[in-house]
Amino acid sequence: MNDQRLDPTLRAQALAQRYRDKKASVGVVGLGYVGLPLCLAAVNSGLEVLGFDIDPAKPQMLAEGRTYLRHLSSEVIAAAVATGHFRATADFSRLSEPDALLICVPTPLTVNLEPDLSFVVETAREIAKHLRRDQIVVLESTTYPGTTDEVLRPILEESGLKNGRDFFLGFSPEREDPGNASFTTSTIPKVVGADTPDALEIVQALYGNFIASVVPVSTTRVAEAVKLTENIFRAVNIALVNELKLVYEPMGVDVWEAIDAAKTKPFGFMPFYPGPGLGGHCIPIDPFYLTWKAREYGISTRFIELAGQINSSMPHHVVSKLALVLDMRCRVGLNGSRILVLGVAYKKNIDDMRESPALRLIELLEARGATVDFFDPFVPVIHRTREHAALTGRKSEPWSDDLAARYDAALIVTDHDGVDYHAIVEHAALVVDTRNVCRRAGIESQKLVLA
């Protein structure tokens, strides 16, 4: 018994077995788009879960069985609370209670496109105050390779406890895709990494409770690199098709038709589609984490940076296209025109506006003298964002079949399902579609322009 109490490997094996037996508890720090689904998946597997959030309103809503994320219903929340296995709190002195602590806090960029790890650092400092022996801490927030070891570990060891001897440390990149009906938290394979075999065994046992497939890698740095690789792959390929759109257009080639034909090839091609710019908490941000870290090694990530430049230029292209077609087709200048933006969420069928290109488009249009309103069935009001504070409080126009008739042009930015695009095209003087949603709906009209 004494050997097991003193030997980290024996203690790790015992803790891993506790997870396999569902006798260990889980704490999730950050109850947003990543943390809350993680809580629900763990609760549904039979684990005891304690959620933490700095916003006291969230634990209160959860305790009442109410949701604050549109893609997670109140019924789902209430069912999790009813099990008696799910509690949430804003009291961080309780961080010592769970056996595992999963960190799911934001990792945005500064205005200079450098990593902002302030949320991770503050969370780590709070955990260090309450860290106890045999806890495992797993970072899920997207970041650059080395963060877990270089940033998180030293802060936790300020507690006087030592990683690998007294507590365990791992990294598992989040792969949430809000609104995706085909894949959920439990069915998306989970990459896990740790820098000791003991910690890796615990992390695998932990996630194995509520994730169908756990994919172990050799170190936390590899696990950190996995998420960056996934999102850089997407960012670069989206930049490619955005550039192809600009190249093909003057040649009279429809980029969407070309992509749809190309994807019939059963090997060597994967379809990506152009759009008005990148949005969300991953693709516009994650590549710059690697770009920043690469400078430490004297490496320039030219390919990644070029992709970022192309994608960030797309809102300007859309505004220029809209101004051109307004002038040529409607004999109306952008200055003084009335524009209806359709969709301000960063992707369809969700209420998440983080990094949405629609916000940038509204600002660019208004800077050119246009009056801009928006309609979004998922976003009734624009909440405060760091970069678009001036838009805070703007409300969605109420829907009517002839809504678009009051504007000089309708600009489709987010292709939500359930919107009557036939009515939009019927009543609008001009429709500029950045998502090809109208043609996908079988709509053909001289008033319809792709951008």
Q: How far is CA 216 from the centre of its chain?
A: 23
Domains of the chain by range and CATH? 2-218 (3.40.50.720), 275-450 (3.40.50.720)
Q: Give me the chain's average pLDDT, please.
A: 95
CA proximity to 86, closest of 123, 57, 47, 118: 47
Q: What HEC string does 15-37 produce?
A: HHHHHHCCCCEEEEECCCCCHHH
CA proximity to 451, closest of 283, 304, 329, 288: 329
- Is the pLDDT score of 280 beyond 70? yes
pTM of the complete model: 0.92
The H or E element spanning position 103 is strand 100-103
Interacting residues of 242 by C-beta distance below 8 A, sequence separation 6+: 274, 275, 310, 311, 314
Q: Determine the average pLDDT of the residues in 135-141.
A: 97
Taking a C-beta distance cutoff of 8 angstroms, is the pair 52, 125 a contact? Answer: no
- Is the pLDDT score of 246 beyond 80? yes
* 438 noted as active-site residue: no
- What's the pLDDT score for residue 5? 58
The residue from 104, 282, 330, 438 that is catalytic is: 282
How many other CB atoms sit within 10 Å of the CB of residue 267?
4
pLDDT cut 90: percent of the chain above it: 91
- Is the pLDDT score of 171 beyond 50? yes
Q: Phi first, then psi: what are they for 91, rounded to 5°?
A: -95, 100
- What's the pLDDT score for residue 385? 86
The string of pLDDT tens digits covering residues 284-303 is 899 999 999 999 999 999 99
Sequence-ordered alpha helix ranges (H) in 70-216: 74-82, 118-130, 147, 153-157, 197-208
Q: How confident is the model at residue 387 (pLDDT cuts 50, 70, 90)?
A: confident
The residue behind tokens 């429709």 is 431
